[in-house]
Amino acid sequence: MKRSRLRDGTPPGQRSTGPTRRDLLKGFAATGLAAYLAKSLPAHAQLSTPANPPVPNTSARTGIWRGVNLGSWLVLEKWMAPSVFRGYDASDEYTLSQALGSQARAHLQAHRESWITDEDFAWIAARGLNCVRLPVGYWVLESAPPYVPAPDTLDRAFRQAAAHGLSVLLDLHGAPGSQNGWDHSGRAGVVGWLSDPKYAAQTLDVIDGLAQHCKRYDNLIGVELLNEPRWDVPIETLKNYYQEGYERVRKHLPPTVAVVIHDAFRPLEWTSFMQEPGFVNVVLDTHRYQCYTKEDIDKDILEHISFTVEDLARELGAMREKELPTIVGEWSAALNPASLGDLKGFARTQASRAYSGAQIVAYETTAGWFYWSYKLEESSDWSFRDCVQRGLLPNSYRG
C-alpha cells in the first residue's frame, strides 16, 4: 500500500482457542456479522456501550468518540493528495514548501481552502459521527520556514465543526525535529527526537501555544500531545514529555478537555502511568493497521477477522482495564491485496465489509475511534467517504 505508516507491530501473547474458518463462515451466514461478532468476542470484551463510557463529559459532546481524521489538510501527505505535489520534486510538506519558494503561501492556501470545506463537515455530521481528529504541524500557528502557517484554516476547522455539532481532537502530527522521520511528520528523514533533547522542549512550547490558542473553542474535546513517536524513542523520554505536556495543557484548559498520549507502538507499557488523582482525564491512543508486516500479508481475510475479534479485542481490553481509557486514533479497511486472494466483485466487497465491521465492533468497546482518513484524491479503502459510498462501511453511525 502507499501509506508509509506502520501499524502497531506488538503481537499479543498466546492466541486463545477460537472459532475455525468453517465456524466463521457459518456464523456470518446464520446470524449476520454483528450478531456473530458479539458471540465471538472474549467474555471480558463486552460489545454493548458501557453505561458510563470511559470518555469524559465535555460541553461539546458526551459518550464514545466516533470520527474521522482530516488527513493531508494541515499536514500534507503526498500519497493522499498527489496533485498538490505535481510538477515539483518533493516528497513531503517541507520539501514542497522549499521547492515552491515565494509561491508556497498561495499554493498551499488554495489546497487548504478546497480540501476540507463546510460541505465536508456537513457530510460527516450527517453520517452520525460526532467528532473529527485534526492533525496539525508545529508550524500551524508559528513562523517556521519553509513551512507556511495556517492559523485561519485552524480556526475555520473549529468553527465549521461546531456549526455541525462536531467536536475536535487536536492532534500534534508533526513536531520540531520530527518524532518519527516519516513524511506525515512534515519532513521525512532524521528523527530529531532521538538525537537532541531541545526538540522535546520546543514541542512543549508548541503544545502550550496550541492550548492557549484553542481554549476559545467549546468543541475542543482533547489535545493529543504527539502523534506516533517512533518505537525507538526512549520510553522515559516520552513519559517525561507527556507529563510536562499535560501541565502545559492544564495551564489553559480545564479537566473536561482530555490530554491524549500515543502508545508509541508499545501498547502494553503504560500501566500505572499518569493515573488519577495526580492526572485527570488522560486518554491512551493506539493505531491499528493490518496490512504492512509479513505476518499481516500472510493472513487471509478470515484470519484477519478472527485476529480482530479475538487477539486485538483482548489487547484493547487489557489497555482499557490496566492502563488508561483507550481510543483507536487511526484504523482503516485497507488490507494488502494478498490477504484477499482471488476474491473479486461481490465476494471481495463482502469480505472487506466483514473486516471493517469486525473492527468497528471491536473498537466500540473502547473510548472511541477515528478512521484514517476522511478522504483521498483517488478511490481507496483508506478513504472513509469513498468506502461509505461503495458500501464497505455503514452509512450511519447513530445510536
Helix, strand, coil in percent for the chain, rounding step 5: 40, 10, 45
Cell of 328: 483507536
Catalytic-labelled residue, pool 310, 323, 330, 364: 330
- 99-114 burial string, b = 16+ CB within 10 Å, else e? bbeeebeebbeebbee
Residue 209 one-letter amino acid: G
Cell of 320: 482499557
Strand partners, 169: 133, 222
Distance CA 174, CA 160 (A): 23
- The total of other beta-carbon atoms located within 10 Å of residue 231's CB is 15
Contacts (Cβ under 8 Å, ≥6 apart) of 121:
132, 160, 161, 163, 164, 166
Q: How far is CA 119 from CA 115, 122, 163, in A?
A: 11, 5, 11
- Active site includes 330? yes
Tell me if 293 sits within 8 A of 97, measured CB to CB.
no
Q: How far is CA 206 from CA 133, 141, 199, in A?
A: 18, 9, 10
Distance CA 272, CA 285 (A): 16
Q: What is the 3-state secondary structure (H, E, C) of 155-179?
A: HHHHHHHHHCCCEEEEEEEECCCCC
Distance CA 323, CA 187 (A): 32
Secondary structure class of 332 (helix, strand, coil): coil
CB-facing half-sphere around the CA of 134: CA atoms within 13 A: 28
Residue 388 DSSP symbol: H
Please name which of 183, 157, 189, 160 lies closest in space to residue 170, comparing C-alpha atoms: 157
Cell of 73: 489538510
Cell of 331: 484504523
Catalytic-labelled residue, pool 224, 228, 310, 315: 228
> Which residues have a catalytic role annotated?
228, 330
